[in-house]
Amino acid sequence: MLGQTTVPLVGMVDTIVVGRTGDAAALAGVALGTTVVNFLFWSFGFLRMGMTGMTAQAQGAGDAEEVRAMLLRGLALGFGLGVVLFALQLLLVPLAFALLAGGGALDAAASGYVGGRFFGAPASLGVFALNGWLLGLGRTRAALLLQIAMNLVNAVLDLWFVWGLGLGARGVGLGTACAEWSALLLGIFLALRILGPGALGGLSARLFDRDTLRRLFAVNADIMVRTVALLVLFGWFANAGARLGEVPLAANHVLMQFVSVSAFVLDGFAFTAESRIGEAIGRGARTELLRATRLTGEFTLAAGAAFALLIHLDGVPLIAAVTDHPEVRAHAVALLPFAALVPLVGAPAWLLDGVFIGATAGRSLRNAAVAATLLYLATDLLLRPWGAVGMWAALLASYAYRAAGLGLALPRLVRSVGEPLAEAPREA
């Protein structure tokens, strides 16, 4: 949970540094640019999620050689895809902006931010793989150290580039990119220390095992479709704010920082579920799977309710701390009750994501995400006459749709695990 608390601080620092300049266009530009970067970078989020489940299952099965091979596969795949993404930015970024309702100064600020972030594309995807591997092994302290280091570098460089050098939104993007490169180098160092000297030698045959690679790409393809579907959902939400103007878009971005913090902290329970359930499936232990699901579910729901209460009670001063633009503040305060409900309504979906990622049940994740996105789009169109209120109501409904889809698939997942449920002893 501590490690996850630091993840959204990258976006929070970016938002505060620009938000305190009083430039609504720059803040809205970072919001729009963040949507573009998240869509393009997190399309490869399977590098984190697929790595966690498969590493945990190899660990549960006692296959130390496969654990080591997973690290090399993940790093090579992440870095290679990041290089391709960097090379294709001249094609992908204009296309992304063409699909979003920006224009004028908003697009200029967003383009500067995105251009800066793309320098970190190979490192960002490499860190996805490293985080997935560390979480799969249950090495949460190493993952925490990685995130803290990245956030510290990001905060220092953001302040220097924006307030010191006056680089604006582009400086925010460059600061985050440099922080991602520092995190990649630190993550490789930590992984090598965990494995010990010479641990990566003699793995060439295992690295290119055909059956393992086929399974890796099959799981990752399903997770990639799932991720893209959810990115479409959140991209649609951001575009709905942009359609209403700079101030509503900036206000939504401020509120989404609170949502992000709560979501990432609650993901700490989901990551615990990923690791424990992956190990349980590796051992064929159905009772362990059920126990991990129940315990992480109870904690997730309790924490979701606590976050909802915290945002509702302390949201107004937090909004004032993030931005000093009076119109943005007023708009954000009016929509605060909806943002406060997200941790509570979204908790079941986030927890079930962890369960199915740990099980590498990519097909169920894909189907639930696609169905939830389609239902969300229909709901948003239906509620569009309600303006910003309808937009946030549709977002809340999307979490319920996703939880329902995964909940329906849960009994089948439980039945698929080898160990039968313990039966009560019969009376003599």
Which tokens sit at 179? 């922080």
pLDDT per residue rounded down to tens, the chain (428 residues): 666 666 666 666 666 776 665 556 666 667 777 777 877 887 787 788 778 878 888 888 788 888 888 888 889 888 999 999 898 888 877 777 766 655 555 666 677 788 888 899 999 999 999 988 998 888 888 888 888 888 889 888 888 887 778 777 788 888 889 999 999 999 999 998 888 776 666 665 666 667 777 777 777 788 888 888 988 898 888 778 777 777 787 788 788 888 888 887 888 888 888 888 888 888 888 888 899 899 999 999 999 999 999 999 988 888 888 777 888 888 889 999 999 999 999 999 999 998 998 888 888 999 999 999 999 999 999 998 898 899 999 999 999 999 999 999 999 998 888 654 343 333 32
What secondary structure letter does DSSP report for 426? P
Residue 360 three-state SS: coil
Q: Report the C-alpha gap between 41 and 50 in whole angstroms.
A: 15
Which tokens sit at 15? 């938002």
Q: Give the residue carrying structure tokens 């990115």.
A: 231
For the chain, the structural domain boundaries read 2-416
Q: Report the C-alpha gap between 422 and 154 in whole angstroms.
A: 50
Q: Report the C-alpha gap between 203 and 111 in whole angstroms.
A: 42
Three-class SS of 295-338: HHHHHHHHHHHHHHHHHHHHHHHHHHHHCCCHHHHHHHHHHHHH
Q: Report the C-alpha gap between 333 and 339 in whole angstroms.
A: 10
Contact 28, 246 (CB under 8 A): yes
User: Does the reported pTM lie above 0.85?
Assistant: no
Neighbours of 197 (CB within 10 A): 8
Q: Report the C-alpha gap between 168 and 412 in whole angstroms.
A: 51
- For the CA atoms of the chain, what is the radius of gyration? 21
